[in-house]
Amino acid sequence: MTEISAPTNFIVDAVEEDLASGRFNVVHTRFPPEPNGYLHIGHAKAIAINFGIARQFGGKTNLRYDDTNPVKEDIEYVDAIKKDIHWLGFDWEDREYYASDYFDQLYQWAIQLIQQGDAYVDDLSADEIRAYRGTLTEPGKNSPFRERSIQENLDLFNRMRAGEFPDGSRVLRAKIDMSSGNINMRDPVMYRILHANHHRTGDTWSIYPMYDFAHGQSDSLEGVTHSLCDLAYEAHRPLYDWFIEKLDIFHPRQIEFSRLKLSYTILSKRFLKMLVEGSHVNGWDDPRMPTLVGMRRRGYTPEAVLTFIDKAGVAKNESVADISLLEFCVRDHLNKIAPRVMGIINPLKLIIDNYPEGLVEELEAINNPEDESAGTRMVPFSKVLYIEKEDFMEEPPRKYFRLSPGQEVRLRYGYYVKCTGFIKDEQGQVVEVHCTYDPETRGGYSSDGRKVKGTIHWVSAQHALDAEVRIYDRLFNREDPDMVEDGETFLDNLNPLSLLVLTHCKVEPSLVNTKSGDHFQFERQGYFCTDLDSTPGHLVFNQTVGLRDSWSKMNK
């Protein structure tokens, strides 16, 4: 399994420094997802870094759900997150935790801060708190409730806990500095009133801690040594440290790295939810989605995803990774592991006029030229075949080496055939091509030494299996989907041709027992994966990635 190692990256350097100085004698990290949606490839980077760093130093990684907002959370997401982490090849062993595990302790710590004069209950509304906070260039101003007595704050906070007040009527805030140059330090909210059923604690609580208050203390309780976060939390680090220092508890070290950004891709969980709820895609696991469940369904492998993350690098500077690099990694891995088969996407009937009627031969085909141990298989050959429509042209251009009148080509693993004619329908479309074969060229080689320049794939019509093939393109047609004109949204950058469903495809009979998640290379076509919808009576394949990067050529 590929993993983040990067011996020179700055996180590794910082961890080595902490171990050498004696600040910590072990390495303990955590991955703290919110169970309010499905994980995407951006989360995969965080997973790989947290689990990879701990693994590199012989340490441990916790899975801890940040379940502090019951309004948006669901057990469906909890289960999906665990499946995705395991798919990537990582395991938290018996260390599965939840911020809700610590609600009692967090409450007691909030009381401690009130008793120390470091927190107070505020009656300002959310809009008023925002207005009082000031701006990046102007300091905030103190709330009129900031100087309440410790006793009054304790009483009000206990009554908040008891459920006496309606949602939004009061909050608990840290008392820090309303003139701080860091807005996060201007008396941040620690608790808000929320009468909502929690997926684990039910109706026990009517107040819930904010992430900034719960996160650092949860790290401390679990003995996490290194809290590895994306750069969005860099400005929150002073607050992370402030809470821990005021409470005088074990102090982890927070280190930030740049989050993953990907061209032609949206990685905002809110926007991804809009795509799902607006039926712009067919669910969280739509193969066009950057969710891990969507990538898995499309046929991406965890090895390829982790290789991409490794190549994209771990840095402090924000940058956008090219989606072509991800597709290269997927293509490169599948080339090594995917069995080769023959599948016809747009079938055209090919009849070999001089081939014996009723004869069926079994021809030996290579399963994977990149892997000798994959061996070979036998594919049936008969008088009537299917070939790709694009492999025949009535009036071909120069350097067209496939079938055309009078042209001879090689049938993959089969014989040389020469086109002798064709039949059109009433609309003028070619529906049938006729040819003759040379029986001395079995296996695709001529005994007289003559050469042909074209080789095409095929399936026997008598033995072919019907299949549906779904061809996927990039979900957005703009490199930065967030780049919009006035009055537009990212939805205006959706690619209307991101999905093409072909229902009359033909595949070789070796695929009769394929199951969901199986990978294949359809020769000369690309890499495909058997879809969840596939059944023995209705085979469905998703195109994972083409054999080559056609997008970059089209958009130069």
Cite the active site residues: 34, 259, 269
Q: From CA 334, how far away is CA 344, in angstroms rounded?
A: 20
Burial 374-406 (b: 16+ CB within 10 A, else e): eeebebbbbbebbbbbebbeeeeeeeeebbbee
* Closest by Cα among 108, 98, 96, 74 to 191: 108
Count of helix runs (H) and strand runs (E) in the chain:
13, 27
* Closest by Cα among 159, 178, 179, 154 to 169: 159
- Helices 103-115 and 150-161 sit at what angle, rounded to 10 degrees? 160
The answer to whether the CB of 157 falls within 8 A of the CB of 190 is no
Q: From CA 388, how far away is CA 350, in angstroms rounded?
A: 10
- How many Cα atoms occupy the beta-carbon half-sphere of 172 within 13 Å? 33
Q: Which residues pair with 226 in a beta bridge?
A: 253
Burial class (CB in 10 A: 0-12, 13-18, 19+), 440: exposed
- Helices 10-21 and 41-56 sit at what angle, rounded to 10 degrees? 30
R_g (Cα) of the chain, nearest Å: 31
Query: Token match 């300002």: residue?
Result: 124
- Tokens found for residue 333: 């891995």
CB atoms within 10 A of CB 139: 14
Q: From CA 210, how far away is CA 201, in angstroms rounded?
A: 16
- Tokens found for residue 366: 């290579």
